Structures are given as C-alpha cells and as structure tokens.
Amino acid sequence: MEIHFTPKGVCSRGIDIVVEDGIIQSVKFTGGCSGNTQGVAALAQGMKVQDYIDRCKGIRCGVKSTSCPDQLAHALAEALQA
C-alpha cells in the first residue's frame, strides 16, 4: 500500500510511505530538516506500523504541538483506519 500524506504544523510538506503486510518498507519526506527526516525514515523502515505509531505518536518539535515523527504516526494511523 502506498500512502501520500500532507502533514500539518511542521516544516515538511509531504510524506510518501510504502507499507507491505503491516511493515513499513520506505518513507520519504518532502521538505523539512533533511537530516532529521532522513533519520526518522531510516529508523521507521522495517518497523511494524503499530509499533511505530505507539513509539512516535505525540512527539513534539519545540513549542509545536506536533513533529515530523508524530505526523508520520498520524499518516499511518489514518491508513490503518481506512
């Protein structure tokens, strides 16, 4: 399954995710802090979707109420509900 998500409240402008059999195969952020988003993408790869959501949902970026890892968790949660 391919997921295209437009994050809200963060610097990145898009997240493209590939999930197969409940496992995150790849993540690509468009925009945002390059090193951080590459790190998040690399760490998420190979994780079970629910494990990622459980670990990263609610992470904040400074004073923002969300973050790129949190937005990825929201994208995955929405995909699970669909």
Cβ atoms of 3 and 20 within 8 Å: the answer is no
Q: What percent of the chain has pLDDT over 70?
A: 100
Does residue 17 register a pLDDT over 90? yes
Q: What is the pLDDT of residue 29?
A: 98
Domain extent for 33? 2-81
| Domain count of the fold of the chain | 1
How far, rounded to the nearest angstrom, does the alpha carbon of residue 65 sit from its chain's CA centroid? Answer: 15
Instruction: Say which residues have a Cβ less than 8 Å from residue 72's Cβ, sequence separation at least 6.
Output: 5, 15, 17, 27, 40, 44, 52, 56
CATH number at residue 22: 3.30.390
**Span 27-52, pLDDT tens digits:** 999 999 999 999 999 999 999 999 99
**pTM of this structure:** 0.96
Mean pLDDT (whole number) for 3-11: 97
Greater confidence (82 vs 61) lies with 61
Cβ atoms of 36 and 28 within 8 Å: the answer is no
